[in-house]
Amino acid sequence: MTTSAPAPAPAPAPTRAARAARHPLLHPVAKPLLFVLCLLPLAWYAYGVITYQLGANPAEAVIRGLGDWTLRLLWVTLAVTPLRQWTGQPALARFRRMLGVFTFFYATLHLVAYSFLDMGLDLPEILKDIAKRPFILMGFAAWLMLLPLAATSFNRAIKALGAKRWQWLHKLVYLIAIVGLMHFIWMRAGKNNFAEPAVYGGILAVLLGWRVWKRMA
């Protein structure tokens, strides 16, 4: 009488450490590393102020630099989904929320720097400036639209709103990007300098155009 060979034992599930070794984006250090990287521009401007390395007009350098990093982080946030699909790395999605929060963080620093360094925290003058200069109005409008996105960037907010409503609210990011780009273009229009805004505009066209193409495909 023959007996069948015992069935092989199921392979043990990979441990968290093993998954992290195969996918560096899942490593526990990945998010803290991104956090530190996102703070480096702020550290540079703080160092530049302390060591007088920001040129003849450090206030303008800080204000504009913080605005530039707001746009860069917003563009990187928008790039997460396309990059995730193009590279076949779904783990990239775990960094999108942090990038979005840092976008709001730098936008707020940009607004505070403008209000304090340029306007001396004079609220009536700030309001007049917003009403008088279109590029200031566009920047302030973009910040106001970022505010509810930052306020609902936590798991409790997603549960409270419901996934569908939360997703619809966060589609505001596309309008924010367009308004933010308008703010940048109009700000540079005063010096007839459109080279850098053109680069930002081209990247945004690719990021938004890809999403339109995916929806129509």
Q: What is the pLDDT of residues 89-106, one digit of tens each?
A: 999 999 999 999 999 999
Mean pLDDT of 58-83: 97
For residues 67-96, average pLDDT: 95
Judged against a pLDDT cut of 70, whether residue 88 lies above it is answered with yes
Q: How far is CA 48 from the centre of its chain?
A: 23
Q: Which tokens belong to 18?
A: 């093993």
CA distance 217 to 213: 6
CB 184 within 8 A of CB 71: yes
Length of the chain: 217
CA gap 67, 137 in Å, rounded:
14
Cα→Cα distances 38→15, 103, 156, Å: 29, 9, 24
16 band by pLDDT with thresholds 50, 70 and 90:
low
Q: Tell me how far apart the alpha carbons of residues 16 and 162 are, in angstroms, rounded to a whole number.
A: 30
- In whole angstroms, give the CA distance from residue 107 to residue 91: 26
Alpha helices (H) in 12-154, listed in sequence order: 16-22, 30-50, 58-87, 96-113, 123-132, 134-151
Average pLDDT over every residue of 189-213: 92
Supply the pLDDT for residue 139: 97
169, 161 in Cβ contact below 8 A? yes
The 10s digit of each residue's pLDDT in 122-152 is: 999 999 999 999 999 999 999 999 999 999 9
Average pLDDT value for the chain: 90
User: pLDDT category, 190, cuts 50, 70, 90?
Assistant: confident
Residue 22 has what pLDDT?
Answer: 61
Please tell me the predicted confidence (pLDDT) of residue 1. Answer: 45
Residue indicated by tokens 């007049």: 128
The model's confidence at residue 192, banded by pLDDT at 50, 70 and 90, is confident
Residues 6+ away with beta carbon under 8 Å from 83: 89, 92
User: Which tokens hold the place of 44?
Assistant: 């540079």
User: What is the rounded CA–CA span in Å between residue 48 and residue 165?
Assistant: 43
**Which pLDDT value is given to residue 14?**
55
- For the segment 8-21, the average pLDDT, to the nearest whole number, is 53
pLDDT-derived band at 33 (thresholds 50, 70, 90) equals very high
Q: Is the pLDDT of residue 166 over 90?
A: yes
**Residue 5: predicted pLDDT:** 53
Pseudo-torsion of CA 169, 172, 173, 176, nearest 10°? -150
